[in-house]
Homo-oligomer: A and B are copies of this chain.
Amino acid sequence: MRKIAIDAMGGEHAPEAIVEAVLQAKVKLPNTKFLLFGDENKIKKLLADNSTDEQIEVIATTEIIQDEDEPVRAIRRKKDSSLVVAARYVKEGKADGLVSLGNTGALLAAGIFIVGRIKGVERPGLMPTLPVKNSNLGFNMIDVGANAQAKPEYILKWAEMANFYAEKIRGIKNPRIALLNNGAEYDKGDDIHKEAYQLLKESKLNFIGNIEGNELLDGKADIVATDGFTGNAVLKNIEGTSSVIIHLIKDSLLNGSLTTKLGALLIKSALKGIAKKFDTAKYGGAVLLGLNAPVVKTHGRSDKRAIYYTLLQMDKMIEEELIKLFVNDFSKQD
């Protein structure tokens, strides 16, 4: 039986939305067990009749890592926090993967220091799946901020791991891989990106060259490799820019004339279609690739539906033995 360790105390709607998502996922995934780490009383109350379900186990913990906690210190001091105990279960082989909605830095630290890195991966990379305008497949971007400082060989390794993910989990054959850079030509960028270009070109990956910041949502690449500093700025900027534009549109429709308001009513369903296209919940959370087990961070604001998809995503990574693929590939490289 596959086992998913879930930090039930992270995120804005914890533990309610997390318990609800587990109850939905367990029906879809009858061969998977869900380990919920956190406030036993609260969780069992929410589980009600399901608290004796053999697919669900509650592990009582007494501490919670807050969003404002300094990540590395929190991991060291809050030894009985839902996150740390869940990570330890994965480390000890009592669970196969870790999901959290809480403090991103703390999850990265728990992943690196407790779950541990795969031999041959110096730096794990954080990778969300993002929408593109012309397909429902989206694209992966790695690294979006697990590392502030990058080296060309890190970028290559992130691309290699993302390649397995796109093939096995997203079902994309021979994924197109691009490098985020400040121009199309091979000699663009700073030294790190020039060298990363060469490494990607010489690799076995389906490298299609550089991609620029304005082309990301166009669907030209299945995977965009980038240093974590730029990736972080760009990921946040996609969120910020789209939210400002959508906010302005809503605002001007709601505060407009009667004619505008009537028009807004009439286009409601069309706008919902767009929201659906940009619905990233179905892709699951951001994966921290390069660890001894799958570790996934889902947005703190995630509702039941987004958490449900994250559980499916995690289950698939365990089923496909994604980590084994990395380990086999990297041992061949040595």
Contact = CB atoms under 8 A, between A and B. Distances in A.
Interface stretch (A27-35, A75-83, A259-267, A311-319): A259-267
A269 interface: yes
Nearest to A214: B240
Interface in A245-304: 245-249, 252-253, 256-257, 259-260, 262-271, 273-274, 277-278
A208 to B, nearest CB: 17
A257 B218 CA distance: 25
A135 interface: no
B246 A218 contact: no
A217 B232 contact: no
Interface stretch (A94-102, A154-162, A187-195, A198-206): A187-195
Contacts of A239: 213-214
A180 B233 contact: yes
What number of copies of this chain does the assembly contain? Answer: 2
Given A189-B229, A245-B245, A246-B245, A253 B267 contact: yes
A119 interface: no
Contacts of A259: 266, 269
A41 interface: no
A278 B241 CA distance: 12
Given A133-B247, A217-B240, A252 B233 contact: no
Nearest to A267: B263
Interface in A211-243: 212-218, 228-230, 232-243
Contact of A266 (B180, B229, B262, B271): B262
A280 to B, nearest CB: 13
A292 to B, nearest CB: 26
A240 B214 CA distance: 4
B241 A242 contact: yes
A1 interface: no
Given A133-B248, A244-B133, A249-B271, A148 B189 contact: yes
Given A214-B237, A245-B245, 8 more contacts: A145-B182, A148-B182, A189-B229, A193-B229, A213-B235, A242-B245, A256-B270, A260-B270
User: 6 nearest interchain CB pairs?
Assistant: A263-B266, A213-B236, A214-B240, A263-B267, A213-B237, A214-B236
Interface of A: 133, 145, 148-149, 180, 182, 188-191, 193, 212-218, 228-230, 232-249, 252-253, 256-257, 259-260, 262-271, 273-274, 277-278
